[in-house]
Structure 1
Amino acid sequence: MTSVSFQTALQLIYPPRCILCGTQVESEFGLCGPCWRDTPFISGLSCHLCGIPLPGEEEGDKVTCDDCLRIARPWSEGRAAMLYHENGRKLVLALKHGDRHEIVRPATLWLAKAARPLLTPDTLIAPVPLHWTRMLRRRYNQSALLTNALARQLEVDHCPDFLQRNIRTLPLEGQGFDERFRTLSGTISVKPSRTDLAQGRTILLVDDVMTSGATMAAATMACYAAGAEDVRILVLARVAKHT
C-alpha cells in the first residue's frame, strides 16, 4: 500500500476532528467553522507594543493602548495572535496543562502570521523559560514547543534554552500590576553559555499568554543585559479587560 493510500485509509477509520470540540473537519489539526468563528483572533488595528486590538482603522501609524502608555515597556514592538478569552483561553490551557501538543501545529501558523512584521535578518527566537522545578513537574515548556515549530516555519534562528529562570516565584494570579513587576524583577537571565548569541541581535521572545507584561519585561531586560540590540515580543494570547 502506498503512503497516500495508507493516509486515505487512516482518515476513513480516524477522520480529522476539530481540535476544540471534536467535530469532524476536512483536515487535521484544524478548527470547525463554529469554533473558528468563536475564536478571538486579532486582526486590524492593534497596539504596537502588546498586540491588543484597538478601535479604529489601520492606517500604518503606530498606536499604543492605555496599559502600554501607563507602563514603560522595555521591548520595542509586540504582537499577539488572539485574545485570551473563550476559545483562545481554552486553546492555551489545553496546550499548557492538558498535554495537547497537537495544538502547536495550528498555533504555529497563527503565530507566524503575527510574527512576520517583527522579523529582521538577524532575529533570534527564544521562549520564555520555566523554572526547573516547574519543568520537572510539567515535563515540557509550552513556549519552547511553540518556538521550535515557529522557527522552522519562519526559517529563523532559534535557541530553546537561551533564557533561564533563576528564582521560582509564587503564582501571579491575584497580584496587581505593580506587585507582578516587583515579583519578577531580576528572576530571568540569559544563560552564561548563550550570551554570545545575544550580541547586537534582535531577540524575539515568545510566550503562550501575556497578562501584565511583567514576565516579558524581566526577560527583555535580561536580553539587553546580555548585549541584545533590540527585543520584540510575541504571544499566542493576550489577556484583555472585559467590561
Structure 2
Amino acid sequence: MDAAASPSRSIAGHLRTALGAVGGACAQTARLVLDIALPTLCVSCREPVAGEGVCAECWAKLSFIAQPYCPRLGIPFVYDPGPDLLSMEAIANPPAYSRARAAVRYDDVARTLVHALKYQDRTDLAPTMGRWMARAGKELLANADILVPVPLHWQRGWSRRYNQSAALAKVISRQSGVRMASGALRRVRATEQQIGLSRAQRASNVQGAFKVADERKADVQGRRVILIDDVLTSGSTVTACTRALLRAKAAQVDVLVFARVVDHHRAPI
C-alpha cells in the first residue's frame, strides 16, 4: 500500500486540526473551502474520504482487538476460556508492567496509520487513533492517576518536531479525564531505531535509556501510571520504561498502545 503523504496533504491535515479547535461561522466556511480545495485522502489506499483519514473499506480491514484476550498481555484468544486465565506467554515470561491493552492488531492498515502519524507528519490522525485507544483501554483508564507517553530523545524530537506518543496521550487525556504527565519520563540516551533488530538486540538497545528525573519523581511516586505508545512489538521499549517508572516508586504501570504485534492466535493455559 502506498503510504506516502504529499506536502499539501500534511498541510491540509494541520489546517483541519487547527480549524477544529476554532468555532464560529468563519471557521466553518474555511473548513468547507479546504475540503473542496484539498479533499482528504485515505491514508492507506489514497481514495478520497470524508473526515478522519481512513475510508470505510480500509477501516473494515482493521483488526480491532476485543475480548476474549489475555488479561495480562491483551493478546486475543481464539476462544473464551473464562475469566482470569492467562496466556502461555504471560505465564512463561511475565512482563514488568501489570497489564497491556491495544486497539488493533499491527496489520497492513494499522502499520500504514502508525507510519503516517510517526514519520509523515500526519498528526491529524491522532484524534481518531487516540479515541480508539481510549475505548480499548477503558478498564485501565478507570483507575489510572496519570498518563505518561514514551519519550523521544531530544535529538530525535528535534528532527521529528513532535512525539507521536505524546500526541496520542493528549487525545486519551481529553477523552478520559486522566492527567497527562508529559516529561515525567525522559529518554536519557539516544538509541538506534528498533526496526530490523532481533528481540535480544531490542532489549539491549533500550537498556538504561529511560529515567524519571529527580524533580519529577513526585509526579510518579505512588501513582497508577498508564504508559502510552504507538506500537507494542517485542515489548523491549515499554519494559525499559516500566522499570524506570517502578524505580521511581510508581504504584503500578499499565501499557496502552494503538497497535500490537500478534504472531498467531494464542491459546490460554
Same fold (TM over 0.5): yes
- The structural deviation recorded for 1:3 is 5.0
| Structure 2 contact 68–76 (Cα < 8 Å) conserved | yes
Given candidates 8, 20, 30, the residue that maps to 2:44 is 20
- The structural deviation recorded for 1:204 is 0.2
| Structure 2 contact 141–176 (Cα < 8 Å) conserved | no
Residue 106 of structure 1 corresponds to 128
- The structural deviation recorded for 1:186 is 2.0
Task: Label 1:32 to 1:164 Cα distance change in 2 as closer, same or farther (>3 A).
Answer: same
| Structure 1 contact 52–83 (Cα < 8 Å) conserved | no
| Structure 1 contact 19–29 (Cα < 8 Å) conserved | no
Residue 61 of structure 2 corresponds to 38
SS in 2 for 1:200: coil
Letter of the 2:71 partner, please give it.
H
Name the CA distance, whole Å, in 2 between partners of 1:69 and 1:42. 21
* Cα distance per residue 1:37-59 (max 9 Å; x no partner): 11122122122233222211274
TM-score by length of 2: 0.81
SS in 1 for 2:102: strand
Name the CA distance, whole Å, in 2 between partners of 1:109 and 1:58. 28
Task: Label 1:17 to 1:179 Cα distance change in 2 as closer, same or farther (>3 A).
Answer: closer
- The number of equivalent residue pairs is 241
- The structural deviation recorded for 1:108 is 1.3
- The structural deviation recorded for 1:86 is 0.8
Unaligned 5+ segments in structure 1 are none
- The structural deviation recorded for 1:64 is 3.1
* Cα distance per residue 1:78-119 (max 9 Å; x no partner): 100111111011100111111111110110110110111002
SS in 1 for 2:183: coil
Residue 216 of structure 1 corresponds to 238
Task: Label 1:70 to 1:23 Cα distance change in 2 as closer, same or farther (>3 A).
Answer: same
- The structural deviation recorded for 1:183 is 2.9
Q: Does 1:237 align with 2:252?
A: no
RMSD: 2.4
TM-score by length of 1: 0.89
Name the CA distance, whole Å, in 2 between partners of 1:75 and 1:201. 14
| Structure 2 contact 131–171 (Cα < 8 Å) conserved | no
- The structural deviation recorded for 1:185 is 2.3
Residue 76 of structure 1 corresponds to 98
